Structure 1
Amino acid sequence: MKRFRFHFWFNASFILLCVSVSSSLDYRLERDVVPLFYNLTIRLLADEAKPNTFNGDVSITLQAVKTDKEIKEITLHSDGLEIEECLFYNESGVLISTIDANQLTLDRTTQKLSVLLEEPLSLNENYTIRFKYSGEIGSGVEGLFATTYIEEGSGITKSVYLTHMQAINARLVFPCFDEPAFKAKFQLHIERPSGYNAISNTKQISSSLESNKRYLDHFEVTPVMSTYLLTFIVSEYTARGNESDYAVVSRPEFYDNTEFSYNVGERVLPVYEGLFQQTYKELGNELLQHATTPSFRHNTMENWGLIIYKDAVLVQKPGYTDGWSDKEFTIRNIVHETSHMWFGDSVTLSWWSHVWLNEGFARYYEFFVAHELYPEYQLDQQFVVRKLQHIFPSDAVNSTQPLTSPEESIQTSSDIYFKFANIPFAKGGSIVRMWRNAMGHDNFDAAIRDYLKQHHLGNTEPQDLFYHLKQYWPVKSELVNLDQFLYDFTEQVGFPMIVVNASFENKQIRVEQNRFLLSPDFQNLTPIGYFSKVVDVYDIWFDEAIDWIVFNLKQSNYYRVFYDAPLLNSLQLALHKSDHSGIAVENRAQIVDDLFSFAHVDYEEVFQFIEYLSQEVEFIPWYSTYQSLQLVANRLTPDQLPNFAKYLSDITSAVFRKLGASGKNSDSVLDVYNRNQQVAWLCKYQIKSCQEQVQVLYDVQKPIPDYRETFYCAVARTEGYIKILELYREEAYPTEQDLLWRAASCTRNYTGHYQNEILSYSRTLAEKKTDISQMYQQNPDLVTPIFTVRF
């Protein structure tokens, strides 16, 4: 095989500007007053002259709990609300005072509303503070907002009113103690026009017709929970299932397309109940609903009892969004969000500085519970390449963050939303996976059951979790520094690198722990090192000669491995054999991914090693390869692309010979995924065999959903662009329209025409920029460099 050599030079200067802002502002609430119960009424569309305004009435039962000072002020949160009246009652319900405007102080920066009282609060006595107020129904996706959809058949625009409170948006809907540690019970009442219906976290217990010909819906009291979990939807939706127990709620025309989602949700719940040995109803809520919405901040939100998803997550339209990848997307999201009923809703983080306590577990179970239910997706393997390997680059730069940040460093809304970046999800899930593998599944699961039961309806910090993990840790001795192992991976940034050197003649392996692009203070103990004293180098001897050795079996642990030349050569020889199944697919993917991460040392060595791929036919190693090759391809100049295409054609010979462009009845799910990525790459770089097969298939039949965008893109590269554009104009289904529009960007011969199409459509500036960028990413050889950066 011809070797394709790359030489990169990097000669650049970086200027890092660090700005430290010191502020005396305190965004946190005192712990001297705590809420116990919210009685909340929301009135929607009550004034036709003000359709974007809602009215609210909330009574908060609270207590003073501190004894070290006199409490004459209640401080809570409010943002964008107009307080019309504030009343204060004693435990017997007797009005103590009407709060004047001069007794209310709002800090618009911290969004803290202070209520000055005439008399100090008595310790542990219940009081009620009542606010009558109004607020704006937003056009964005925070707080209480409105979104619309076009009803199929009639073409009528329908409105949906719903909430998204996470992380600090409950204060946009009602005055409240808007921090996760201030848990309370809620009872919600929704006043709405006829023609709409309302759903919330709990069952509706009654609905009364008011004198103004409007309905007032009353809902059961929620379990004790945080403000960010309260939610409601007012719409014309219908439910699939038993509305008093379990349902999928969507617009009426989606009813027939939510059967798959309904079945997934129904299967997931018993698995969690068995795993945690705690039923959903034992958590304190009898109702679980999965609901759709046209617009949302994220794909999903885990409100207790009413999980909200974007339409595309739950709706499987036959022939459009019912492919394997679409169903996997649905499965994983439902599994992820259902786990939050335990991790996040019942047991809640005490502050946003450790989001991973919610999201790390949800990400882990998203893959591994889904794997138990739907093993055909091999999500245990997919986790390694889609999440663990994917997060390494982000966790190796100075701008990364630890899983657990100092609590005082997370104050502002930007601080809080930074904690919802990918690190708490992907790294958090990877660390949870490492712990479960290190402890053994039975020990880990027992520890988690105890953790969930002890802290049911409470708030936790990482040390609460660690206590239970240590109770069930299988190896307990002076040689095991569990605290360091647990805390280092959560409180420090980055990850370790293991350097492995071989002396085959001495039957010896030397393992050394180094740092990978990290602070000098980084001192993680890896799972292969924590069973010894805190040492950086140790030796392993073997009784018999070894041909090769792989560290980090199935990439179970969160570190990279650097093999010396003799070991790498032995692995290369093993992988070049026609049967290299003795090295797990996760490890084959790991070796490739790790090699590319060290490739600044010698790209020639890397490309020589991955020639083994000419014998590789599995999806997992190829996925890692293409993720890494993309970074290389982005840096190639047009004159290098023909050699790259030739190299690609050589190393894909076996896998494309096995898969081809045409689907087979014997295909596994990962075969489908693998074929899709092979066709995408080979046709992008104009490999003739790929282009010819795709064109023949396209002429015969419409591609199935899993292949559709890839095939349309391949066809648009040749002479099929005009046909793709015609299909786009004729298509009525929005998801398919978007797919065809993206596929048209792959054109090579009509780039000027596509640019004109972009400019002629009523697309936003951001969309136009994305479209232009997409077109040239699909055709890198057509890009003329206007400046040169040396790598």
Structure 2
Amino acid sequence: MPKTSPVSKAIAATFAVLTVGAIVGIVTMVIFYKVQISTMDPTPRPTFLPTTAAPPPVIRLPTDLIPHRYDLFFQPHLYTKIIQEVNVTSPNQTHLFTGNSTVHFHCVQTTRTIYLHSLDLDVSGPVVMDTDQNRRIHVLGMDNHEDTSNFLQIHLKDHLEAGGNYSLFLDFEGQLSEELVGMYVSTYTEGQPAHEDDTDADRFLVATHLQPGYARRVFPCFDEPEMKAEFYVTIIHRIDTTALGNSERAESNIIDEDWKYTRFHPTPTMSTYLLAFTVSEFTPVVSTNGRVSIRTYARPEATAKGHAKYAANITSTVLTFYEKKFEINYPQRTLDQIALPDMGPAAMENWGLITYEQGALLFEDGVSSALHKEWIVTIIAHELAHQWFGNLVTMKWWNDVWLNEGFASYMTYYSVDHAEPSFKMMDATVLSDLHVAFESDALTTSHPLSPPQEEVQQMDQIEQMFDSLTYTKGPFVLRMLADIVNERAFNKAINKYLSDFSYKNTDQDDLWDYMQKAVDEDGGHTNVAKVMDTWTKQNGYPVITINTTTGEIYQRHFLFNDTSESSQWWHIPIRVMSNGSQSDFVWLDTSDTVKKEEFVSKKGEWILANVNCFGYYRVNYNPENWERLFTQLEKDPQRIPLMNRGQLIDDAFNLARAKLVNVTLALNSTRFLFHETDYLPWESAVRNLQYFVLMFDRTEVYGPMQAYLREKVGGLYNHFQNLTDLSEVPEVHSEQHNQITAINVACSNGLPECVAMATKMYANWMESNSTNMIHPNLRSKIYCHAMAAGGKEEWEFAWNKFQTTSDTSEKDQLRKALACTKKIWLLNRYLEYTLDPEKIRLMDVAPTILYIAENVAGQALAWNFIRAHWDYVSKAHASALIMGVTSRFSTQFELEELERFSRDYSVDSESRAVQQAMEQTQVNIQWLSENKDAVLEWFERQTASKSG
């Protein structure tokens, strides 16, 4: 059994010292209460009430008690390494953590019961004090409703009186999680072991992830976002480790030969989900923005090699940008961020201690793709924006989490453009996020950005709010609002909103009120709440249909499932232009068909609506206008704004999926690609044609489709081959993206010179054993396509490299490429490897399975595998797993299998994902039956005309 490491006498002595500090107002400790209790003839420890007691009737905490301060002590008993040397006794690893908490609260309504949250903790020793009168209140007992509300219910003999101030002390202990939530253990390798059985290089660390409701797994607390408080935290940890917390370290001292303690300054007033700490052997790279000390922590090996340097430097630039933009300084003197080997999300915005999955923070010169800097700066910018949106000003309840995530994503567009102007990422990022939002929001199983609070109560409902829609629709609603009210008024309102609600909680109505004040002061006439509620309180989005002959325009709810009926309508702002006029602004604020002069085509000119894609809607036209736009793209695409060139393709294909236009019209939108070398149109075309790949790569359509794509991509592939001979990458950032697109499309569709190039490069790598043979930008695609063309030898070479490299970027590229093989037995082996955390980390299990499912040879294998091992593989990213593995489903049999899965497996927390997968499958079945013949005929006609 694991050793639990009882607290030594030296530790007890140190506790006493810390208690003295509590008495003078620095920090409160359990001994302080024991001293008080000893003078009061305390009664015996109260017995627990029966666990069968009925749970409280509601999930939300009552509001009769308002916390304002926590004094917290934590001691994780984990060893950071297991020593295995001659004549050295190795300690037994333990996952135990112990601690105690004192929460100070104000009573606003008389009560004899204290409700707070606790889950998976052994809680004992409750002591309730009337701090106004220094009087202990007798505790009758405790209930723990773990299976319902997660309430810890404490029954008192006497009432807590309204207007009084009280405190609650509790001891607790629990187990470090291995599921990347609460307080969890993470493992990594520092250096390379001498041989396979050598574990000297294995290391362990402790980290936390408490969003949205996991703080209750770490300490008993009022675990709701509106229950803000200050946190005074002390960590007792192994002597050779460093403890990081939300605030600057106040004191750190050695206790004995094994232990030390670190006490932190109090945090700002904040929600429980933002509390964070880590205990590790990691080392920092230090930077500054002049006022704030920024420390970026990573594995010592990574910091020594400079892998954290880019993140450290760019963080300073982004932080300074936000301070100037919001006219509010970051409120602490330190900002720590840490690159964790194991983490569920890519990052978490904990105030003062931002945690990242290490691939999102580390950049390795000569190994990482130059484009990987995009990911790093984007993630950092998003998390730093949260220090204001979410941390300083927090939503009242999880139904409005879009205020946190939407603003963080929206501000990211601007901060990345400032920090890395040469990337020119604004258009590409905006369009990419827009397409992600459109995809999931076109299903009837979508949800409003801001649903009623009563629909978001239980933990599974809360967790479902953290989906791609919240992250991607939110910033577009804000971007549209900024265009409506103008950027100046928008920024003025936001800064005032942040200033007035600092350290408080808001809902979206507060935002609309502040925006309305700014609009009124600016002389505008928009009724902000009236307009915006149609975008946030309804699910989905509209498609506007324009007849450029008559000028008639109308809107309807855009849904892939055309059998669904909807009476929803929106206040729609439309920017419109033609090839003879500049952009104009028009409102469509009715569900009726209306005529607008701005939409009448004069002299056969084309009309383009939603210029630069400021509006969150799709646009359909009469066939004549579509053809004029396509002709313009073929003759002179530069006349149409770049974002719209991508959006025209996306609208056409998705309108075809919804059966609002003929599928051949969508395919016609790709005719101009042979001469197109800009990234956005190609990205849009490739992403939309991916749906055709999913629907047809198991049918006779796929051959003619590949032939057509080989012909279209030939120009782009030759452009880059002539430019760099594919041994280098272009200097222009967007060109680097498009070079990867060219290689991927060409090799995926069997362009002989591309496949030959990939296999040759890979063979040279195998022979020389030097990754320098392939540029980091191109490795992922070269590895993948060489793997697809190769067999066992190529696969096992990559697997051995994956096992032995310590380079995070290289590992990620290899892990993805290993899923590209067409050998069924190798894919099955790879799937089995995901069950072994020594081979594939838990956080990488779902992404790895999804990579395999993307491969037509692996999709059925992945579907069978996740059903056979659901309990394990669903521990992280379960919703994404369901949607991704079933993305090819397009038959009645597959739909029935999915329905059986929803009945037979425990998928309550992923119910929305299952429902969306079933709806998407139904859409696919219908779309395929109606369009397969027309698509086959169109591709055969295109290839026949070229060969003729």
Name the TM-score, length of structure 2 as normaliser: 0.75
- Are 1:90 and 2:122 matched, yes or no? no
- Deviation by residue 1:511-570 (Cα, 9 ceiling, x = unmatched): 222221275231211113974764632311579646222110111110000011111111
- Residue from 608, 629, 641 that aligns with 1:571: 629
Give 2:639's aligned residue. Answer: 582
Aligned to 2:316: 266
Give me the whole-angstrom Cα distance separating, in 2, the residues matched to 1:742 and 1:267: 32
Q: Does 1:776 align with 2:856?
A: yes
Conservation of the 8 A alpha-carbon contact between 1:44 and 1:55: yes
Alignment of 1:392-411 (within 5 A): 392-411=438-457
1:597 maps to 2:597? no
Q: 2:726 aligns with which of 658, 662, 681?
A: 662
Return closer, same or farther for 1:479/1:438 CA change in 2, 3 Å cut-off: closer
Q: Which runs of 5+ in 1 are unaligned?
A: 1-22
Hey, what does 1:381 align to over in structure 2? 427
Paired residue type of 2:73: T
Task: Give CA-to-partner distance per residue, 1:721-770, whole Å, 9 cap, x none.
Answer: 6345324324521553553354354445xx25635754785755978965
| Residues 161 and 415 of structure 1, relative CA distance in 2, 3 Å threshold | same
From 32, 53, 59, the equivalent of 2:96 is 53
**Equivalent residues of 1:144, 1:172 under 8 A apart:** yes
Instruction: From the superposition, tell whether residues 134 and 761 of structure 1 become closer, same or farther in structure 2 (CA, over 3 Å).
Output: closer
Structure-1 residue corresponding to 2:711: 650
**Contact 2:821–2:827 at 8 Å: present in 1 too?**
no
1:304 equivalenced with 2:351 (yes/no): yes
For 2:249, the equivalent position in structure 1 comes to 204
Alignment of 1:32-181 (within 5 A): 32-45=64-77, 51-66=94-109, 70-92=110-132, 94-100=134-140, 102-104=141-143, 106=145, 108-153=147-192, 155-181=200-226
Give me the whole-angstrom Cα distance separating, in 2, the residues matched to 1:772 and 1:666: 30
Alpha-carbon distance change, 777 to 592 in structure 1, aligned in 2, over 3 angstroms: farther
Q: Is 1:433 matched with 2:496?
A: no
Alpha-carbon spacing, 1:476–1:510, altered in 2? closer, same or farther (3 Å): farther
Between 450-459 and 634-643, report the one with greater CA deviation.
Answer: 634-643
Which residue identity is paired with 2:245? Answer: S
- Written as runs of structure 1 = structure 2, the 5 A alignment for 1:184-223 is 184-210=229-255, 214-223=259-268
Greater mean alpha carbon deviation, residues 699-708 or residues 624-633:
699-708
* Aligned-partner SS, 1:119: strand
235-244 or 592-601, larger mean C-alpha shift: 235-244
Q: 8 Å contact 2:798–2:818 — kept in the other structure? A: no
Whether the aligned pair in 2 keeps the contact of 1:258 and 1:315 (CA below 8 Å) is yes
> Is residue 559 from structure 1 mapped to residue 607 from structure 2 by the alignment?
no
1:624 aligns with 2:684: yes
2:302 partner letter: F
For 1:84, give the aligned amino acid.
Answer: S
1:319-398 → structure 2 map (5 Å cutoff): 319-321=366-368, 323-398=369-444
1:27: which partner in 2?
59
Give aligned-pair identity as a percent. Answer: 26
Q: How does 1:471-490 map to 2 (within 5 A)?
A: 471-473=517-519, 480-490=526-536
**How far, CA to CA, are the matches of 1:364 and 1:152 in structure 2?**
40
- 2:377 corresponds to 1:316: no
More off after superposition, 362-371 vs 763-772: 763-772
* CA shift for structure 1 position 776: 2.9
Q: Relative to 1, partners in 2 of residues 1:756 and 1:147: Cα closer, same or farther, differing over 3 Å? A: closer
Residue number in structure 2 paired with 1:416? 462
C-alpha distance in 2 between matches for 1:759 and 1:334? 32
**Aligned ranges 1:687-726 → 2 under 5 Å:** 687-695=751-759, 702-719=773-790, 722-723=793-794, 725-726=796-797
Equivalent residue runs for 1:762-773 within 5 Å: 763=835, 773=853
- Residues of 1 paired with 2:542 and 2:377: CA distance? 33
Q: CA deviation at 1:190?
A: 0.7
- What does residue range 670-681 of structure 1 map to in structure 2 within 5 Å? 670-681=734-745
Q: Is the 8 A contact 2:714 2:746 kept in 1?
A: no
Structure 1 position 383, deviation (Å) = 2.5
Q: Does 1:614 align with 2:674?
A: yes
Amino acid of the structure 2 residue aligned with 1:629: L
**CA 257–211 in structure 1, closer or farther in 2 if over 3 Å, else same:** closer
Q: Answer whether contact 1:724 1:740 (CA < 8 A) is retained.
A: no
Q: Which moves more between the two structures, 128-137 or 663-672?
A: 663-672
Match of 2:897 in 1: none
| Residue 576 of structure 1, CA deviation | 0.9
Query: What SS does structure 2 have at the residue aligned with 1:523?
Result: coil
Per mean C-alpha deviation after superposition, the further-off stretch among 478-487 and 150-159 is 478-487
* Farther-moved stretch of structure 1 (241-250 vs 352-361): 241-250
Deviates more, 1:423-432 or 1:211-220: 211-220
Q: In structure 1, how many angstroms separate the alpha carbons of the residues matched to 2:601 and 2:755?
A: 53
Q: Secondary structure at the match of 1:324?
A: coil
Write the mapping of 1:518-529 to structure 2, written as runs, cut at 5 A. 520-528=566-574
Is the CA contact (8 Å cut-off) linking 2:509 and 2:529 kept in structure 1?
Answer: no
Amino acid at match of 1:549: I
How much has 1:372 moved relative to structure 2?
Answer: 2.2
CA contact (8 A) 1:499 1:512 kept: yes
Q: In structure 1, what residue type is equivalent to 2:264? A: F
Over aligned residue pairs, what C-alpha RMSD do you find? Answer: 3.0
| Contact 1:352/1:410 (8 A) holds in 2 | yes
Q: What is the rounded CA distance, in whole Å, between the counterparts of 2:72 and 2:736 in structure 1?
A: 50
* Counterpart residue identity of residue 148, structure 2: T
* Mapped partners of 2:246, 2:515: distance in 1: 32
**Superposed CA offset, 1:49-84 (max 9, x none):** 782221111111111113xxx322111111112122
Displacement of 1:332: 0.4
The residue aligned with 1:729 is 800
Distance 2:789 2:818 in 1: 11
Q: CA deviation at 1:94?
A: 2.6
- 2:94 is paired with a residue whose SS is coil
CA deviations 1:219-270 (Å, max 9, x no partner) are 0011100011111101111111169821101121111210001011111001
Residue of structure 1 aligned with 2:293, choices 230, 242, 245? 245
Per-residue CA deviation, residues 424-468 of structure 1 (Å, 9 max, x unaligned), is: 110001111111222222221111000100100000000000111
Specify the alignment match of 1:7 in structure 2.
none
| Distance in structure 2 (CA, Å) of the matches to 1:46 and 1:678 | 49
C-alpha distance 273-161 of structure 1, shift in aligned 2 (>3 A): same
8 A Cα contact 2:571 2:587, kept in partner = no
SS of equivalent residue, structure 2 residue 596:
strand
1:513 aligns with 2:555: yes
**Structure 1 Cα separation of the partners of residues 523 and 253 of structure 2:** 65
* Alpha-carbon contact 1:721-1:744 (below 8 Å) kept: no
Is the 2:137–2:158 Cα contact (8 Å) retained in structure 1?
no
Is contact 2:245-2:277 (8 Å) kept? yes
Deviation at 1:482, TM superposition (A): 2.9
Q: Which residue type is aligned with residue 362 of structure 1?
A: A
Counterpart amino acid of residue 163 in structure 2: N
Q: Give the Å deviation of 1:650.
A: 2.6
In structure 2, give the amino acid aligned to 1:733.
Answer: T
Equivalent residues of 1:78, 1:172 under 8 A apart: yes
CA distance in 2, matches of 1:540, 1:762: 60
| Aligned residue type for 2:315 | G
Query: Comparing both chains, which one has the higher relative contact order based on Cα–Cα distances under 8 Å and sequence gaps of 6 or more?
Result: 1
Deviations 1:380-402 (CA, angstroms, capped at 9, x unpaired): 11123311112112101111010
SS at structure 1 position matched to 2:191:
coil
Number of equivalences: 752
Matched, 1:291 2:365: no
Q: Within 1, Cα distance between the matches of 2:469 and 2:192?
A: 44
Cα distance, 1:103 vs. partner? Answer: 4.8
CA distance in 1, matches of 2:455, 2:832: 47
Q: Distance in 2 between matches of 1:641 and 1:107?
A: 52
Tell me the distance in 2 between the aligned counterparts of 1:489 and 1:447. Answer: 19
Which residue does 2:17 correspond to in 1? none
Residue range with higher mean Cα deviation, 470-479 or 56-65:
470-479
